[in-house]
């Protein structure tokens, strides 16, 4: 027995136990005798009583609780099957099926749920029954169909078995049709608005991240919550709505724009039955998808392990799987890819050992990069580091500057976030300056996950060795100003303050003229279109001026140093 049985007399407890002995005809909702016993007992104890019945007609659990509180097996039968149980419970005060009854039916994928009205004197009244409808059923506004009520003495005439068989067959057929058409994971996106001015923009960015990871976004919602729910962020009611959306839209992935704690992710997964990711996992997955070089793979695996360590420890043998595809697009589902080992069957010591190994490997890579930077510095060639928000067009601009239209000099440039992760250097030429080295860096994003920042710090430190920064801004983006500010904050956090900077307002050909003019006034930037070779001459002139200014300052510093040396006889 389940539920609150405190205060019940021994005779009442015995009556509850006797319910286990009741057998009904397989495929039926109940029997008149069972209905009479339930009504009498519910009236006697003045509480709801629920019985769970399997398809063989056996009562497998008895609960002194309503439908939501009834004891149910913790089983998920898969998308193409129902749970194999139906729930019959009493309504001591009468009334039709409640919202809680129907939510339990849907969330637990029960064969059916029935409510037995209890009349005065413990007499059984009408029986109200509902069952699920297949996703996409025409003419159905809800996730369930409510049957006409029947008197308790006719309860055994409801042929639930035939209905369930037909329903499961219809669900399976619809699932096969959808699966044949589906070539990628279908995702529902949730961005919580706590009063931020850029909440809608964040939802748009989350959608772009999901698309880059290979998901098909079938629904997205901006949910206003001043105060977040501790366990689920959005509350049980909203999770039920999202589960219903996923059921009808054939979605299998729920992505939150906020970072989720391990306990929160588990609770949301348990409530919805969906795979749950947060924004950080999504970004890590995209980095894993695009990591090509040895260094990038090491950095991504390091970031993934740091993020997943608190989520994996204590999970026992069923630890999560990162992947094993070296970042290939075919390497598994979203959130499971990565250049790491195929399965993370690692305890605390082994995870820490792997982290130490990766950090040492990256230290070696950092030393080799430092040697290359020193060699380049001795050559006296000015260095321009191209920075900017991800997908702002940095790689396209680098290709346009260096006339690298074809391989092997051409840098990968795609309309996706984080298309390139490795810093790429190419030699270009600026009139009045001569040869320059242009370095394309990894794209930034607001609230860049700390684990990624730490892993890529050695790569990002190369920015500090530049003579001039070329900050590329997507002028066609509605949030160009906030993205520019986000990049500046990251540069400040990394300690790169005061470097001479030229702002390129890229994609000017697609930007709103008034918005572009405002950005020019605000930033002093130069409108360009790297794709259409528009404005590049003006940009090169601005870079030449900035480099000349740096060279004059360096010359003045050297002259001052020589004068001081002569003064002290050195």
Q: Considering Cα of 439, then 288, then 300, then 204, what sign does the dihedral take?
A: positive
What is the structure's pLDDT at 343?
Answer: 46
The count of other CB atoms within 10 Å of the CB of residue 201 is 17
**Which DSSP symbol is given to 380?**
T
Largest Cα span, the chain = 115
Residue closest to 373 by CA, chosen among 297, 437, 441: 437
What is the structure's pLDDT at 555?
Answer: 83
Alpha-carbon distances of 250 from 79, 132, 207, 245, rounded to whole Å: 10, 15, 18, 8
Q: Are strands 526-527 and 150-151 parallel, antiparallel or unpaired?
A: unpaired
What is the structure's pLDDT at 317?
Answer: 36
Alpha helices in 22-149 (DSSP H): 32-45, 99-107
Cβ neighbors of 449 (< 8 A, separation 6 or more) are 280, 283, 284, 303, 307
Cβ 469 vs Cβ 387: under 8 Å: yes
Separation of alpha carbons 196 and 219, rounded Å: 21
Whole-prediction pTM: 0.71
Sorted by where each starts, the structural domains of the chain and their CATH numbers stand as: 2-179 (no CATH), 186-277 (3.40.50.11060), 380-558 (3.40.50.300)
**Which DSSP symbol is given to 120?**
G
pLDDT along the chain (570 residues), means of 10: 72 83 86 93 92 91 89 64 90 92 88 94 94 68 84 89 83 70 83 89 91 91 90 90 85 92 89 90 83 75 82 46 41 62 56 83 71 60 89 87 58 56 78 88 80 70 82 90 88 83 94 92 93 91 93 83 74
What is the structure's pLDDT at 527?
Answer: 95
What is the structure's pLDDT at 408?
Answer: 46
Residue closest to 114 by CA, chosen among 21, 36, 28, 55: 28
């Amino acid at each position: 027995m389940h539920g609150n049985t405190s205060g019940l007399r021994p005779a009442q407890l015995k009556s509850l136990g006797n319910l286990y002995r009741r057998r009904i005809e397989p495929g039926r909702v109940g029997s008149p005798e069972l209905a009479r016993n339930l009504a009498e007992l519910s009236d006697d104890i003045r509480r709801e009583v629920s019985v769970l019945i399997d398809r063989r007609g056996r009562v497998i659990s008895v609960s002194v609780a309503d439908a939501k509180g009834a004891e149910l097996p913790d089983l998920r039968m898969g998308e193409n099957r129902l749970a194999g149980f139906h729930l019959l419970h009493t309504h001591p005060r009468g009334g039709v099926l409640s919202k809680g009854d129907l939510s339990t039916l849907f969330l637990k994928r029960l064969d059916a749920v029935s409510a037995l009205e209890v009349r005065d004197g413990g007499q059984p009244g009408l029986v109200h029954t509902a069952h699920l409808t297949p996703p996409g059923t025409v003419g159905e506004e809800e996730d369930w169909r409510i049957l006409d009520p029947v008197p308790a003495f006719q309860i055994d005439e409801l042929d639930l078995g035939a209905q369930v068989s037909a329903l499961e067959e219809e669900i399976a057929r619809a699932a096969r049709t959808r699966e044949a058409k589906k070539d990628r994971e279908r995702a529902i996106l949730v961005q919580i608005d706590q009063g931020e001015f850029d909440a809608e923009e964040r939802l748009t960015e989350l959608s772009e991240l999901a698309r880059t990871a290979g998901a098909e976004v079938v629904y997205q919602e901006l949910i206003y919550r001043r105060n977040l729910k501790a366990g689920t962020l959005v509350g049980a009611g909203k999770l039920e709505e999202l589960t219903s959306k996923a059921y009808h839209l054939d979605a299998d992935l729920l992505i939150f724009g906020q970072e989720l704690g391990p306990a929160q992710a588990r609770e949301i997964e348990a409530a919805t039955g969906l795979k749950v990711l947060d924004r950080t996992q999504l970004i890590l997955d995209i980095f894993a998808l695009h990591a090509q070089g040895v260094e990038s793979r090491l950095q991504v695996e390091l970031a993934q392990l740091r993020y997943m360590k608190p989520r994996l420890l204590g999970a026992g043998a069923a630890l999560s799987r990162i992947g094993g595809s070296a970042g290939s697009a075919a390497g598994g589902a979203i959130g499971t890819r990565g250049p790491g080992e195929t399965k993370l069957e690692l305890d605390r010591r082994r995870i820490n050992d792997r982290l130490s190994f990766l950090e040492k490997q990256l230290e070696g890579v950092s030393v080799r990069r430092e040697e290359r930077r020193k060699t380049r510095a001795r050559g006296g060639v000015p260095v321009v580091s191209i920075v900017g928000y991800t997908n702002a067009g940095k790689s396209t601009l680098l290709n346009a500057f260096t006339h690298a239209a074809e391989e092997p000099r051409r840098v990968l440039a795609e309309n996706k976030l984080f298309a390139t992760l490795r810093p790429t250097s190419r030699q270009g030429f600026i009139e009045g300056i001569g040869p320059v080295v242009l370095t394309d860096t990894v794209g930034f994003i607001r609230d860049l996950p700390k684990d990624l920042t730490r892993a890529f710090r050695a790569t990002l430190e190369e920015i500090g060795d530049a003579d001039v920064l070329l900050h590329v801004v997507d002028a066609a983006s509605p949030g160009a100003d906030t993205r520019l500010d986000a990049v500046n904050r990251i540069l400040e956090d990394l300690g790169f303050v005061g470097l001479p900077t030229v702002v390129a307002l890229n994609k000017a050909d697609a930007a709103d003229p008034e918005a572009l003019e405002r950005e020019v006034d605000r930033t002093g930037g130069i409108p360009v279109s790297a794709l259409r070779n528009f404005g590049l001459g003006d940009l090169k002139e601005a870079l030449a001026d900035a480099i000349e200014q740096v060279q004059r300052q360096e010359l003045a510093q050297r002259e001052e140093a020589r004068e001081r040396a002569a003064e002290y006889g050195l």
